[in-house]
Amino acid sequence: MEDLRSAISFQKPSTEQLVRYPPSPPATENSSRRESRTGSDFENQRSSYDDDGSRSEDTSIYPLPPRSRSDNKVLPEDFKTPDNHVVRDPRLIRLTGIHPYNVEAPLSELYNEGFLTTKDLHYVRNHGAVPRVEDSDIMDWEFTIEGMVDNPIKISLAQLLDNYEQVTYPITLVCAGNRRKEQNVVRKTKGFSWGAAGLSTALWTGVVMGDLLRTAKPKRGAKYVCFEGADKLPNGYYGTSVKLNWAIDPNRGILVAHRMNGEVLPPDHGKPLRVVVPGQIGGRSVKWLKRIIVTAEPSDNWYHIYDNRVLPTTITPEMSADMPNTWKDERYAIYDLNTNSATCFPAHDERLSLAQGLESYRVRGYAYAGGGKRVTRVEVTLDKGKTWMLANISYPEDKYRLAPEGDELYGGRLDLSWRENSFCWCFWDIDIPVPQLQSTDDILVRAMDESMMVQPRDMYWSVLGMMNNPWFRVVVHNEGHTLRFEHPTQPALIPGGWMERVKKAGGNLSNGYWGEKLSGEEEETVQEEPAKEICMTNKEINRAITIDELRKHDGEIEPWFVVNGQVYDGTKFLEGHPGGAASIFGAAGQDASEEFLAIHSENAKAMLVDYHIGTLDGASRAILANGEVEAPQGPEPRLTFLQSKVWTKAILSARKKISDDTKVFTFDLQHAEQTSGLPIGQHLMMRLRDPVTREAIIRSYTPLSETSEKGKLHVLIKIYYDTPERKGGKMTQALDAIPIGHFVDFKGPVGKFEYLGRGLCAISGQQRKVKHFIMICGGSGITPIFQVLRAVLTDREDPTSCLVIDGNRVEEDILCREDLDNMAADNAHKCRLLYTLSQPSPSWTGLRGRMNEELLEREIGTCRTLDGEDLVLVCGPEPLEKSVRSILKALGWKDDDVLFF
């Protein structure tokens, strides 16, 4: 075990041993192996790049990583996030706010590090929090190989080091979203804005995937290998799959890696174990590896289905939310990278002084291809593609192919001599005479791989904005005695770039000429429909509010809440809020932006003006942004599942079809003894997140579950599918698409009505005695009605009587019919149940027609009591509720006696 522990201690090797070769001959096989498990300190090492960033031509060495920084620390912005244990470099550009951590390096600094990227500037794609793994636990980290195998395996990192040959390969990882910002400028995709630095190269040490799979012995019929990490996310653990024949092919070079540039994997890069899939998009290289599952079908993981796909360009972001079958179509899944290139120098906004008298300028950049293909040609044009010039190409990866037989690097055999595949980026450069730069409008570059696939001129826009690889265009501005260069975009929300400039000027970026008018061409502009802006603030209010002030109002007295950085006092609306006071109390002291904007109508948003009291100051916004967004796990398990101020996860465990468009979704709570905590008559909020944009889809539902049921939550949901006449439901179709075993977030309870039992109700906190319920519902509106009706009818001591009128289109649409019929039959003395159909069959013997005035006047009549002992409960589609409201008002029913769920 001593030998294994040395793999973590990483003693410093000599520069001569690791850089120059032929290396010093090993003393013995065992001593060589021990020596190979040391070495990640690069203080005395140098790469094959000179100090100015240019590549060395000394073929007696192969590149090693440049010196990494020793002064990085946990950054202040991460203190209040789950990543408060992760050391990071402040130079990295955050693309998705503070958390989760998705970053790229400044393009110039990435290029200047050379062929290999330090852990400091390597791009990061995280979907959620980084799992915390202590150094002392690294060797005990375990993963499994399971599924369609004859020999299932459970193996620790220590055993992986002891029992399998280690190899070291240089591999470039590229995010499928590299250069997505360009697509987002043309038309917003569902992905965040990567610049052109969503790629990096490192030396990865580990075990060849094929060696592990051969030990596990895949069964006949197995076709895929699925990977799953330890990063727990809103929709399960991150996972994906590749084809089995790729995974066992040594030419594909797929690794289970435990070192990056000779060091233990950094937390952001999968500490302590990850998959590295060369030549494919970074999304296939699962970090924090826990499971390898051999299967007959591609992964059913949420993130395999709803991420890393190029859908047809005709599909809009709005359409995509309601197309589960399209997302599952493996034809649209991305595996191999496509050929791509970018210009790094001249950098964006770089200026070249003509007074220096330079004869030429060296234009430089990178290129890569996918699937092991080699970039064979890089071309540059100064006249928009009429003529092209060949650039020089340098492949530092080739230097590793020259390593002598038996050479080791960072504990792994370094042997690329037998393999022709290329899994790393290359560099290109071309000297362009300065007079030519003075006379051109732009510099465009394109690359070609060995299969003669060349980068396209025009962008292929798609809903996720992935695999963007049109010609990379740098605009040249001649400003008198200076040339200024302008890249297409800048990453994240950083302004700048010719694409934003052209679009703001009204240019059509998809006109085939980069949005610019050609000589003699009529000006073509794209008129975008202006977004409707709703004012939610009182412009006369000029008050800065601190986080301490806000938190003094986080209870049920003067509840303050925040929307888009503005503070609102909900006190005056507690009684009138349709969702009940509990909704406002649940938001008190919190940032309610996500929920408010996802649920409320434009009218509700406009009402906020009346409740606006100030603006949260900048420091407080940062604190609030890092606040808790999911339920904490306390030392003792909670007896009730729902919490009013934080989201709690439950796992979808079953989906039962009730009718053609209705299903019961069953969720497992956190433990078998836990109840939902939902009062009778109230509802809960369910949240799904778009796996790419993290945009929330939030809707309210009333479960069918008994309030006393433990461990499970059953929710009846009518799924509104797309039809030629209308768009379907975003939430219901998303729920129908998620696989069993994935998470959904819950929060609550909310609602202004609660049935306390035996005729006693609470409405907006005020108790009321009811002798007779009139329950009017339609479609899935039966669910809140069902809760109250069941509570009345299952209590033999409850004297309350009920009239239920349930309207539907056809007989098959009647939900919960068997339960309703049984309860009504058993309680005929206090329950009258009526069904009415708008499109009945000839054999239907019940009521016919819609919920019209004739029906309601006949069955309900005018308001019969003056003491409020009758209460009408209404729940159904908006047209039904609107019609019933009008009819009841005409029949003399007061607003206080009619409650709309």
Question: Which amino acid, residue 776?
Answer: I
Average pLDDT value for residue range 300-321 = 88
pLDDT tens-digit readout, 569-616: 988 887 777 667 777 777 788 888 877 877 777 777 888 888 899 998
Single out the catalytic residue among 112, 175, 802, 808: 175
Q: Looking at 307, 569, 661, 870, which residue is catalytic?
A: 307
Instruction: Give the phi and the psi of residue 586 in degrees, each rounded to 5.
Output: -65, -25
pLDDT tens across 794-815, in order?
Answer: 999 999 999 999 999 999 889 9
pLDDT of residue 638: 87
Distance, CA of 464 to chain centre? 11
Q: Categorize the per-residue pLDDT at 253 as very low, low, confident or very high, splitting at 50, 70 and 90.
A: very high
Instruction: Express as a percent the part of the chain with pLDDT over 70.
Output: 88
H/E segment holding residue 107:
helix 107-113
Q: CA gyration radius for the chain?
A: 32
Highest mean pLDDT among 326-330, 368-372, 525-529, 537-541: 368-372
Please tell me which residue, 631 or 259, carries the higher pLDDT value.
259
Of 384-388, 451-455, 711-715, 750-754, the poorest mean pLDDT is in: 750-754
Instruction: Render pLDDT for 337-347 as a digit per residue (tens, 0 to 9).
Output: 999 999 999 99
Contact 433, 357 (CB under 8 A): no
At 532 the pLDDT is 54
Top mean pLDDT of 186-195, 216-225, 676-685, 733-742 is at 216-225
Q: What is the pLDDT of residue 151?
A: 97
Q: Is 863 a catalytic residue?
A: no
Domains of the chain: 340-504 (2.60.40.650), 544-625 (3.10.120.10), 648-750 (2.40.30.10), 753-900 (3.40.50.80)
pLDDT exceeds 80 at position 40 = no
pLDDT confidence bin for 58, thresholds 50/70/90 = very low
> What is the average per-residue pLDDT within 127-133?
94
Longest distance between any two alpha carbons in the chain, whole Å? 102
pLDDT at 450 (0 to 100)? 96
Residue 307 among the catalytic residues: yes
Neighbours of 858 (CB within 10 A): 9
**SS3 state at 491:** coil
Confidence band of 8 (pLDDT split at 50, 70, 90): very low
Top mean pLDDT of 54-58, 232-236, 709-713 is at: 709-713
Question: pLDDT tens digit string along 395-418?
Answer: 999 999 998 888 999 999 998 888
145 CB burial (10 A radius; 0-12, 13-18, 19+): buried
From the candidates 112, 184, 235, 308, give the one annotated as an active-site residue.
308
Q: 323: which 2 tokens? A: 């197309």
| Statement: residue 2 has pLDDT above 60 | no
What pLDDT score was predicted for residue 868?
Answer: 65
Q: Which of 31-40, 165-174, 370-379 has the lowest mean pLDDT?
A: 31-40
Kindly state the percentage of the chain with pLDDT values over 90: 57
- Which band of pLDDT confidence, cut at 50, 70 and 90, is reported for residue 531? very low
Any catalytic annotation for residue 421? Answer: no
Q: Is the pLDDT of residue 879 over 90?
A: no
Question: Which DSSP letter does residue 516 get?
Answer: P
User: Is the dihedral angle over the CA atoms 800, 803, 809, 811 positive or is it negative?
Assistant: positive
Q: Residues 352-365: what's their mean pLDDT?
A: 94
Residue 139 has pLDDT above 50, yes or no: yes
Taking Cα atoms as reference points, which of 734, 747, 631, 655 lies closest to residue 688? 734
pTM beyond cutoff 0.85? no
Q: What is the mean pLDDT of the chain?
A: 86
Extended beta strands in 523-579, E state: 544-545, 560-563, 566-569
The residues, ordered by sequence, that sit 6+ positions from 803 with a Cβ below 8 Å of its Cβ are 772, 773, 774, 775, 831, 832, 834, 859, 860
Compute the distance between CA of residue 640 and CA of residue 679 in angstroms, rounded to an integer. Answer: 11
Mean pLDDT of 450-478: 96
Separation of alpha carbons 477 and 516, rounded Å: 14
For residues 673-680, average pLDDT: 93
Q: Which of residues 113 and 26 earns the better pLDDT score?
A: 113
Find the range with the poorest average confidence among 7-11, 67-71, 92-96, 459-463: 7-11
Quick one: pLDDT band at residue 57, thresholds 50, 70, 90? very low
Residue 551 has pLDDT above 80, yes or no: yes
* Tally of CB atoms within 10 A around 407: 17
Residue-wise pLDDT for 471-494, tens only, equals 999 999 999 899 999 999 999 989
Mean pLDDT in residue range 125-145: 95
Q: Is residue 210's pLDDT more than 50?
A: yes
d(CA 663, CA 737): 12
pLDDT tens column, 828-838: 999 999 999 99
